[in-house]
A and B are shown apart, each in its own frame.
Chain A
Amino acid sequence: MTATETGGEAPAPAATAPLLEIDHLQVLFPVRAGMLGRTRAHVHAVDDVTINLTEGETLGLVGESGCGKTTLARTVLRLTKPTGGHLRFRGNDITALGQRDLRPFRAEVQMVFQDPQASLNPRKRVGQIISAGLALRGMPEKDRPARVRELLAQVGLSPEHVNRFPHEFSGGQRQRVGVARALAAEPRLIVLDEPVSALDVSIQAQVVNLLDDLQDRLGLSYIFVAHDLSVVRHVSDRIAVMYLGKIVEVSPAEALYSRPIHPYTEALLDSVPIPDAERARRARKPVQGDPPSATAPPPGCRFAGRCPHATDVCRRVEPPLVAYPGGHLAACHHPRNVSAEDLAAAVISPSSPASSGDSLPGSEAAL
């Protein structure tokens, strides 16, 4: 597990080529209305997002509902077709591949869903569910039962559970079945969409530890989508914060919490209730209002309407994603927690959206 420089900074040498490159990815959903079903508008679910994932890395993806984190995760799996930009897996462009050509990629990238109850077929036995992934890998039928038992043991379930139905398990155990199913295809990358948020706290910790162990043992890469900032911090090497379809900040996990640069990140962290009677009861200053509509995102910075530091420029010019020292990127005209040296070393990242402005924070043009 290594935290690395954010993608797009420099052409990486082949040895450390990213596992996954998300390159100016855009996903628009048409909003149809009227009798003829004409497209009236688009929901900008993912709007020009660029980020790379290195082998063995865990990338946390956080943001509030509607920020596009789940759409981004589903697009990485090509469950949703992007409307713009590129997706590359191990250097191969998979943006426009058809279903048949995607087959080999499907085994390499697996997903674990939020609700294990809804994502496991209730009529199939656990053994059958897990075997499906083995079939995808082309394993002969006679070898599958033994491998299913191995996988069950690997996720901490008893191999005797192979003939049970999903409803015979508790929530935590069902999520373990979901993980075993993902592992069956021997993936390199697992996209985890809110994998523990439906579980009780004491069970959450068990599943998080399991995911940690599996990563260490199998060298997996994870994209961990969650709204719970404490869980994300625990599992991630690097974290991307999304707001209304855009990445507003990317940072190595610790730096995001100790030194948030974007006011939205700061507001998010400030809103997390801390289970400590001594610490809580601070003067809470919750961000006011709701996120604006993704069908007609405001020009300029999308957070400007709720941001306590917003000025005129924020409402006019979309802030570019700026790379600060230490692999910390943020898209804000008025960055927080940055020193003069940080500002001097800052450059506009090539990951920056095409529609964004081209002046660095603190420069004449930005004021």
Chain B
Amino acid sequence: MLTFVLRRLGSAIPTLFIIVTLSFFLMRLAPGGPFNLERPLPPQIMENLNRTYGFDQPMWRQYLIYMGNVVQGDLGPSYIYRDRSVANLLGEGLGYSIKLGGLALLVALVGGVLAGLLAALRQNRPLDFLIMSGATAGVTIPNFVIGPVLVLIFSITLSWTRAGGWGTGSFRDLVLPVIALALPQLAVFARLTRGAMIEAMSADHIRTARAYGLPARSVVGTHAMRGAMLPIVSYLAPCAAGLLTGSAVVETIFAIPGVGRYFVHGALARDYTVVMGTVVLVAVFVIVFNLIVDVIYGLLDPRVRHD
């Protein structure tokens, strides 16, 4: 197991290298640069900016310089947020995103699996339909609709919660963004759990266990759950990576100071270094979570071997 983890971590380095290289050139292929503003800059000033940030160098040199800095752990300055470095921007925002995303992940996972279990155990009964309808609505209604509606009800009409901003990070401040962020994922977990549970319970060994008179709870808890966990665990990796690196939509609607906004805003403003920072961030999260998931596979089902 340890050699497997180490080998995977080793293979992360070339993966990251490819990601950074591809992203670097992909970004430079897009039209415009960070200084193509609605108000065009006089050539003189453009020249000063280009010189300051090294855009006057040939592309391959810019790439080598950038790679050299990245290897030393320097992600460079932001071209838009001129007082700040990428490390500084992402460093300040990531804490907020991880806290919000972590809470949302917890809510989605616990709530979704419980709801899915309930639905599976009451298959094709009213409770099942109720939960699955809720789940379908949850996946379907986008969070740019759910977010504002929640605010209208709970912040403006009832004055129970905060309408936006991080505030002090209390329950009252964060409950709405967490719900908006968690709801679609909760629905996904509920559907995956229900489907997998129904399948697992109909499997022969479960039927056998039941036929032998093992108590229902133990059958569900130990036998069925193990098999049913697989798709949930598989989905956990992209879901966790997505939630923890912030959501541009939810952060914008609730004015959360996280890093999610940089994915879209950074790209629209051609803030290359900031976008690269987000790329590296996502890559690291995805690689790490995929590794964790692969390890869990082995623990859940000893037949899964990493060879």
Question: Do the two chains belong together in a single complex?
Answer: no
